Amino acid sequence: MAGFKAHITGSTLVGVAYGYWGTVHQGMPIESGMLAAGLCAISGMLPDLDSDSGVPLRETSNAASALVPMLMIDRFRALQMTAEEMALAAMLIYLFMRFVLVGIFKKYTVHRGMWHSLPAAASAGLLAYLVIPCPSEAIRVYKSLAVALGFMTHLVMDEIWSVQVRLGRTRLKRSFGTALKFSSNNAWANLSTYAKLFLLAYLAWNDHGFLQKHAPHLHEPHLHESQVPHLAQPAEQWLDKLRAPLSRR
């Protein structure tokens, strides 16, 4: 499989391309494009959370534990938390992810299990969507997709590295097909993975209404001038077209 340095290099290159595409072709603010590039790069390490030990697990858990509280600043503001409450919440989230969540991953996951799968990549993107509220739905989706894209980059690289070419002959390693998959041989792992995916999808689908009800000030553009919705008009237009048939159901 691809090594840690190869994964972070691959996801960084994909992130730079994704940030450029969003800024130049979708009208995203430059800071949103840069953040999306960084999220994609770091998310290329996320599948290694199921690694038993070593550099991948340590670096991935450290990065995720530090980054998630920072990404939740807008969520904290949306809930009208004070500065002290934000600091306390960020500290608790860091401690939970660094010492509890990592322990859960070690105990209940196996390397190249269902955390190395397509539904896990979708779950990572949905989690990012819930973490990063934004007055512009297009910018929010754009940044969330960056996380899923970085995750997917890792999976694709694992599959590419499982194809061995020597002296003109191609041989598939035993690891081939264990990354880009929808299910595994473990029925409980499959059920757990898809249950989490559907739960996250439900929460994400209803989060916009929750924020409008409990934090309407988040959708006032003048409070977030750097992320005014009209700065991402092309993306907003295709997102509105995508939502239209769904909203009529």
Amino acid at 105: F
The tally of domains found in the chain comes to 1
| Tens digits of residue pLDDT in 32-78 | 999 999 999 999 988 888 776 667 777 778 888 888 898 888 888 87
In a domain? residue 247:
no
In a domain? residue 113:
yes
The range of the structural domain enclosing residue 105 comes to 4-237
Entry pTM: 0.81
Report whether 155 contacts 125 (CB < 8 A). no
Give the pLDDT confidence score for residue 133 in this predicted structure.
Answer: 79
**Residues near 8 by Cβ (< 8 Å), separated by ≥ 6?**
41, 44, 45
Please state the rounded mean pLDDT for residues 193-198: 95
Give the pLDDT confidence score for residue 229 in this predicted structure.
Answer: 44
In a domain? residue 248:
no
Q: How confident is the model at residue 96 (pLDDT cuts 50, 70, 90)?
A: very high
Report whether 139 contacts 29 (CB < 8 A). yes
In a domain? residue 243:
no
Q: How confident is the model at residue 104 (pLDDT cuts 50, 70, 90)?
A: confident
In a domain? residue 246:
no
Instruction: Count CA within 13 A, CB hemisphere, residue 56.
Output: 22
In a domain? residue 112:
yes
